[in-house]
Chain A
């Protein structure tokens, strides 16, 4: 295991024990957001999350055991994190079989062909989410309206905040800032509550599992560029606060972009990475076909991580 995880350029992961600790801390940090989602979207959230985690773990075990002939290492918890993050990135009305396909993509395409944890250049949960978005554009963009009563959440569907903006809909229908902060809005079920996600992120920062560089530079870039557009033409471009609180920005910036395997190693590299994510996110949100650009932008920046690492060598290699 130790040998497997040693790759030049990502000297974070050192031993089985520390991988485990990190992974389970990430899982713990996502619990508040999970609880809020259950409150707003009910039973489907629990079912989809369990299916996603279960399938990720199962596929990883089967591939390691029967295709790679390795000793299965599913107990490191990385498949659980992937499954959890993948589930957080889908609408609660998603059919279960699509969730299974997503888990297969995350593990079978984005992770195991590269040899497993620590080898994959792209974040598996994001690869799966983008695949599902392109493969099932209808099912992946049917958003149940949050109703803080148990069950029956999938009876009514409505647009997400960003979808409303993209389609040029009635902007007076946008949720209030308070609603967006606590999570009373349409969207992928794990991304709705900004406050619960920030609590989780604070926990990870406190545990020193993530550093501030990527989340802060990512979110600040989105805020500043959206602010410039808003000041130039307030009628056409919405308030930057809306960009900040809607869609998957906080989930992406704090939990997905910070994935240590697929992000740069040096502090300056991380800041470049975060700014790049922010810039691409806002470009795709304002000009692109898709209302949300967070997942695409993180994947695109994942691809240039080797080049960033070339430009900003980690300190321990410098003379």
Chain B
């Protein structure tokens, strides 16, 4: 894989992380990160939708008239969301119960529509696939990071394995305020690291 293709894939991981840098898709980030399992489930579902809609929209970019492109995108996205929603309801009913309304709400996740508008309707199918996959993985990384911190601090467990005895658990981290606080601090930390790395790169290039 050439370097530029690799870059399309990996830029979503950290440098242009949809959640932590671009601040898109905040609602699911706050709502479903009470545990790592929920975070991974949401990440996977969103990645699926992102991948499929990016590919289809890119394939149809010359067919869809410009004037009705946003409604068309929404229909395409909503179709894939309904598919994944029904699949999860059928095969993973407990995950479906804990993610609740946030699965159908992937439709209005700004990341999905944002990538369609900003990337998929201008690029090739393969590039759109890479972009969707990269952004999806970046979203999953952010969710898992936040979900991991919240689960460890709030329930004392990781992926359901108890690490810390119950009397040391801080309930607030699995509740609403904990979501905002952990998201805020994780965002600050990741931005700090990414900025440092960028500065270093610039510094090296200058020399």
Which A residues touch B170, using CB under 8 A?
A: 101, 135-136
**B interface residue count range (under 10 / 10 to 19 / 20 to 34 / 35 or more):** under 10
Tell whether A168 is near chain B: CB-to-CB under 8 Å: no
Tell whether A171 is near chain B: CB-to-CB under 8 Å: no
Digitize A107-143: 1 where CB-to-B-CB distance is under 8 Å, 0 elsewhere. Answer: 0010000000000000000000001001111010000
Which B residues touch A134, using CB under 8 A?
A: 171-172, 175, 177
Are A135 and B171 closer than 8 Å at their CB atoms?
yes
Are B181 and A109 closer than 8 Å at their CB atoms?
yes
Which B residues touch A135, using CB under 8 A?
A: 170-173
**Listed residue (B171, B172, B175, B181) with the most chain A CB atoms within 10 angstroms of its CB:** B172
How far, in whole Å, are A135 and B173 apart by their CA atoms in the complex? 8
Which residues does A use to contact B, with CB under 8 Å?
101, 109, 131, 134-137, 139
Q: How far is the CB of B98 from chain A (nearest CB, A)?
A: 21
**Listed residue (A131, A135, A139) with the most chain B CB atoms within 10 angstroms of its CB:** A135
How far, in whole Å, are A139 and B171 apart by their CA atoms in the complex? 12
Are A137 and B171 closer than 8 Å at their CB atoms?
yes
Which B residues touch A109, using CB under 8 A?
A: 181
By beta carbon, the residue of chain A nearest B188 is A113
By beta carbon, the residue of chain B nearest A95 is B167
9 tightest Cβ-Cβ pairs between the two chains A and B: A135-B170, A135-B172, A134-B172, A135-B171, A131-B172, A134-B171, A134-B175, A109-B181, A137-B171
User: A101-B170, A135-B171, A139-B167 provided; 11 other pairs, C-beta below 8 A?
Assistant: A109-B181, A131-B172, A134-B171, A134-B172, A134-B175, A134-B177, A135-B170, A135-B172, A135-B173, A136-B171, A137-B171
Which B residues touch A131, using CB under 8 A?
A: 172, 177
Which B residues touch A136, using CB under 8 A?
A: 170-171
How far, in whole Å, are A131 and B176 apart by their CA atoms in the complex? 12
Majority SS at the chain B contact face: helix
Q: How far is the CB of B173 from chain A (nearest CB, A)?
A: 7
Which A residues touch B181, using CB under 8 A?
A: 109
How far, in whole Å, are A136 and B170 apart by their CA atoms in the complex? 6
Which A residues touch B172, using CB under 8 A?
A: 131, 134-135
How far, in whole Å, are A101 and B167 apart by their CA atoms in the complex? 14
Q: How far is the CB of B191 from chain A (nearest CB, A)?
A: 13
By beta carbon, the residue of chain A nearest B177 is A134
By beta carbon, the residue of chain B nearest A137 is B171
Supply 12 A–B pairs (Cβ within 8 Å), ascending by A: A101-B170, A131-B177, A134-B171, A134-B175, A134-B177, A135-B171, A135-B172, A135-B173, A136-B170, A136-B171, A137-B171, A139-B167
How far, in whole Å, are A135 and B167 apart by their CA atoms in the complex? 10
By beta carbon, the residue of chain A nearest B184 is A113
Q: How far is the CB of B68 from chain A (nearest CB, A)?
A: 42
Q: How far is the CB of A128 from chain B (nearest CB, A)?
A: 11
Which B residues touch A139, using CB under 8 A?
A: 167
How far, in whole Å, are A50 and B148 apart by their CA atoms in the complex? 34
Digitize B145-180: 1 where CB-to-A-CB distance is under 8 Å, 0 elsewhere. Answer: 000000000000000000000010011110101000
How far, in whole Å, are A101 and B171 apart by their CA atoms in the complex? 13
How far, in whole Å, are A212 and B91 apart by their CA atoms in the complex? 64
Which A residues touch B167, using CB under 8 A?
A: 139
Digitize B95-137: 1 where CB-to-A-CB distance is under 8 Å, 0 elsewhere. Answer: 0000000000000000000000000000000000000000000
How far, in whole Å, are A161 and B173 apart by their CA atoms in the complex? 29
By beta carbon, the residue of chain A nearest B175 is A134
Q: How far is the CB of A98 from chain B (nearest CB, A)?
A: 9
How far, in whole Å, are A139 and B173 apart by their CA atoms in the complex? 16
Q: How far is the CB of A68 from chain B (nearest CB, A)?
A: 13
**Listed residue (B167, B170, B175, B181) with the most chain A CB atoms within 10 angstroms of its CB:** B170
Which B residues touch A137, using CB under 8 A?
A: 171
Q: How far is the CB of A126 from chain B (nearest CB, A)?
A: 13
Q: How far is the CB of A92 from chain B (nearest CB, A)?
A: 18
By beta carbon, the residue of chain B nearest A133 is B172
By beta carbon, the residue of chain A nearest B166 is A138
Q: How far is the CB of B193 from chain A (nearest CB, A)?
A: 14
Which A residues touch B177, using CB under 8 A?
A: 131, 134
Q: How far is the CB of B90 from chain A (nearest CB, A)?
A: 37
By beta carbon, the residue of chain A nearest B171 is A135
How far, in whole Å, are A267 and B181 apart by their CA atoms in the complex? 33
How far, in whole Å, are A139 and B167 apart by their CA atoms in the complex? 9
Q: How far is the CB of A264 from chain B (nearest CB, A)?
A: 24
